Structure 1
Amino acid sequence: MSVDDDARTPLARRLRELRSRHWPDQPITQAQLGEALGVSVPLISSWESRRGSIPPSARLETYAAFFATRRSVSNGHTRVLPLSEMTPEEADAHGTLLAELTWLRQEALRLHSSGARGGPAPAQVRHHDDPLQFGDGEPITIICSQVPEEDRAKIPYASPLMPDYIELYRYSDLDSLFELHGHLRAANPTSLVALRSAEDLRSDDLTTHLVLLGGVDYNEATASMLERIALPVRQVADWDKADGAYFEVRAGRDTRRHYPVVKGTGDSLRLLEDVAFFYRGVNPDNVERTLTICNGMYARGVYGAVRALTDDRFRRRNATYLRARFDDAKSYGILARVRITGNVVVTPDWTLDSARLHEWSEPTHGD
């Protein structure tokens, strides 16, 4: 068997298995699959052949969508359902299958380009499965908002002079920090994950993969980065004004404001819906590392932005949406609704049009 065969066999075998055995009582012909995917029968045959070609990643998206649900076949006709029409179970099946096919494709490309022999490599960090997975061993820094000193003075055990001092009490967005830190450690087991506030940053922290947690009012690093990168979205946090807390989207000469939804005033104020902001782009201080921002008008919006990519029920679905929507983008962002029901944050499902308030991307030039 040739090196070229070795590189393609695992993926080609899996594609054949999906078509012929995924539904044992209903095998799919190459003609039926070609009709659904909008490609020719010879191309389907080539992808399934040991000596054939490796399908592009966009085609694996449609493969995963097709085999995620039996509704892809109806009355002898085949089609690919959009993610927005899938049930939660179907969307989860799509994400799981896409992750598998993406890994097999990466292995095929890696083995082909390196000329290495042998079967599939051991499990490893899969960069396209999870936006919060990074390169093996590459350092990550979380820069978290810090509670103002006058507010920390009101928190028990927040003073370092106390015997029961708890250092984490100086950080805001603790729910988000706890959730995010645990996920980053699990997803990047060989990477150092450092926690910093804007007040105790070191120079080397800024050239790692950066994850900024919290808004422009409490997080100076977020405010500074948003001034350096060109975005069509800005956060306005003038809490002294009745309508001074919102995200503003600029499109040409038009602007649109997205406000959190609240009920009541003063001490009886209740948050019913927050606005979450998620951004991914290149770290301006190190082009080989990334910049990620999870933000919201309130702490629950920050938590919603984090949970969109850590909640086990939604993270694969949301990651799949990001990959399908922004795979070729240099940077991208999403504003999304975050509902609060019974004082509990409901994880946003980015595949739903009603959940997304605005999205944008910057194309990669020269590719």
Structure 2
Amino acid sequence: MNALKKTVLLIEDNQDIRESTAEILTLADFTVFTAENGKKGIELAQANLPDIILCDIMMPEMDGYSVLYLLHKNENTTDIPFIFLTAKAERADMRKGMEMGADDYLTKPFNDMELLTAIESRLQKRERAIHQANNTVSFTGLLDEARSAKLLNDISGNSRLRSYKKKQNIYMGGDQPLNVYLVKSGKIRSYMLYQDGREIISGIFNTGDFLGYESVLLNTPYPENAEAMEATELFLIPKDEFNTLLFKDRSIAKKFIQLLSGNVQEKQEQLLKLAYDSVRKRVADALINLAEKFEGAAVETCEIKISRDDLAAMVGTANETISRTLTDFKDEKMILKEGSTIKILSVEKLRRIKQ
């Protein structure tokens, strides 16, 4: 068997649906396990740890809700993406499933593309979450590594904690870098200015994020401005102390190189989106990124606070265009909006928006 093949567990009591769906998945190069009831499905999930689970709701012996509940209680299966298969008459019950932690649902009858698109979307989302988790550098993690290298005292003794008010500048583009900044609490935005005064946001940072290290690593002025979006506390690590830490501990240096490489890739993707994506797609992606940044990669519904001006600066468009697009999203029941608070009703619906 190809080691790269993804595995799917299909739990479905209807034999015709089970066999036809399994055939589609096998033709799409998935390895498929099937179960005719919830009890057997749990046994197969625990024995095989599939990459994704498709599960009917109404089944004998154990319904889909019970399957989801028990799998989420088991640490070995709790993170496996879970998609409900539901008849149209059961759609009113899907809110219960999503609140319990289901990732998505498919309404029967579904076609081949709907099935495969839903699976690929969830698998890609899980891979992104794993990648982000592997590359995330938290302050606690750095301190643990510094402790092992006997550098904890150097960091704690030479870093300073400073408070910033909303809209207060952290640094300006063109300033020489003096510190690396770590967000203890609050939110920071980095942005660039056009010649006509318009802004474009290049990054948003919250608790546990570092900023300003690119300029310290490259020994160049800050290329952008940084400003507090709300009351914020930052650890300031002096440039010389930061460089000493990197030279003394190779594992910490490696992590910052990974962060720097990731930032370059994100900037490239941002430029491509500005060049080729529609405004509607860019607004949807911006809301998804904010949701995942502040609430976590697995979130489906959440509330985020961002001004119309900041959202326009993230997307690279006019405020009026942002207002019209958000109104459209509200009419399509993807979001609710009250002041600067946007309640996302379905991250997945936003993700499905095309050009």
TM-score normalized with structure 2 length: 0.33
Larger proportion of helix: 2
Q: Larger relative CO (CA 8 A, sep 6+): 1 or 2?
A: 1
